[in-house]
Amino acid sequence: MLNVLYFASFREILGQAQEQLPADYQTVDCLLKDLAARGETWQQALLHNQNLQIAVNHDVANRQTAIKAGDEVAFFPPVTGG
Amino acid sequence: MFPHICIQEEDFDLSTEAAKLREGHKDIGAVVTFVGTVRDINEGDEVSILELEHYPGMTEKALEKIRLEAHDRWHLEASHIIHRIGKMYPCDQIVMVAVASRHRENAFHAAHFIMDYLKTNAPFWKKETLPDGAERWVDARVSDKEAESRWAK
């Protein structure tokens, strides 16, 4: 299984903070395409969002990053702390 | 020893933190501290509340990476980062960066570097509440990204 997390505005737009998904994706991009199939909101927030930020196991990642069972994948907007 | 990275809801006292940073160090010639505070205005609108969200686990890891890189580049003797989360109000302290080194030049650069990197690399997000109760997420600024890029090796 994959642990998928959504933060900040993504959490609000997508209506959830966290979910468990089967780990049958080779890369983040494959996971994104599957999530985008859920509808317009998911497409806009994730797949077609130039500002999408990705982390895999707490490290900055990108769409080509490989993922496997047990990984934690997080999606969020650009950070604004400080 | 005290923790080098603190993510906390509670406020902090700069003098106390600076004293802890210097404790046991006789080789320090410079201490530079920076405190970020909540503004009551953003994008031309009055802000009543600022709420900070973070990504537990990744935040600590990202901050530690930034801190260690600063140590590596400027040979610091000690450093400490505090970032608050949760609800804050205008004039509240949000963030503190404190560094100590033998010479001031290194300390100034390191503190500046840590803040610039923190702004674009540590997973914190700000949400503002306006006086009429409307809420909005704060957008990332191009100027923050530019500030980060000046430290590229």
ipTM score: 0.94
Going by C-beta distance under 8 Å and a sequence separation of 6 or more, which residues neighbour residue B22?
A: B28, B31, B78, B100
Q: Could you tell me if residue A62 is inside a domain?
A: yes
Continuous segment of H or E residues that includes residue A6: strand A2-6
Q: How many interface pairs between A and B have CB atoms less than 8 angstroms apart?
A: 72
Residues A38-52, mean pLDDT to the nearest whole number: 95
CB A54 within 8 A of CB A63: yes
Using only C-alpha atoms, chain B has a radius of gyration, in whole angstroms, of: 16
Specify whether domain B5-147 bears CATH 3.90.1860.10.
no
Give the torsion sign (CA, A10, A14, A20, A21): negative
Residue B1 has a pLDDT of 53
Give the torsion sign (CA, A46, A47, A52, A55): positive
Q: Could you tell me if residue A82 is inside a domain?
A: no
Using only C-alpha atoms, chain A has a radius of gyration, in whole angstroms, of: 12
Residue B2 has a pLDDT of 63
Beta carbons of A79 and B58 less than 8 Å apart: no
Q: Could you tell me if residue A54 is inside a domain?
A: yes
- Number of domains within chain A: 1
> How many CA atoms are closer than 13 Å to the CA of A64, on its beta-carbon side?
0
* Sequential pLDDT tens for chain B (153 residues): 568 999 999 999 999 999 999 999 999 999 999 999 999 999 899 999 999 999 999 999 999 999 999 999 999 999 999 999 999 999 999 999 999 999 999 999 999 999 999 999 999 999 999 999 999 999 988 899 999 999 998
- The shortest CB-CB distance from A58 to any of B58, B125, B137 is to B58
Continuous segment of H or E residues that includes residue B50: strand B49-54
Q: What is the dihedral of CA B1, B3, B108, B90, to 10 degrees?
A: -140
Domain that holds residue A63: 2-76
- The shortest CB-CB distance from A7 to any of B36, B121, B125 is to B125
- Tell me what the pLDDT averaged over chain A comes to: 96
Q: Could you tell me if residue A44 is inside a domain?
A: yes
Whole-number Å distance between alpha carbons of B16 and B75: 23
Three-class SS state of B27? coil
For position A57, which CATH number holds?
3.10.20.30
Residue B3 has a pLDDT of 80
How far A7 CA sits from the closest chain B CA (Å)? Answer: 7
Q: Assess whether pLDDT exceeds 70 at residue A11.
A: yes
**Residue A36 main-chain phi, psi, to 5 deg:** -65, -25
Residue B153 has a pLDDT of 81
Pick the residue from chain B with its C-alpha nearest to A76.
Answer: B123
Residues A49-54, mean pLDDT to the nearest whole number: 95
Where does the pLDDT of residue A54 fall: very low under 50, low under 70, confident under 90, or very high at 90 and above? very high
Q: Could you tell me if residue A48 is inside a domain?
A: yes
Residue B78 has a pLDDT of 96
Model pTM greater than 0.90? yes
Question: What is the pairing mode between strands A72-76 and A2-6?
Answer: parallel
Q: pLDDT tens digits for B16-55?
A: 999 999 999 999 999 999 999 999 999 899 999 999 999 9
Beta carbons of A7 and B55 less than 8 Å apart: yes
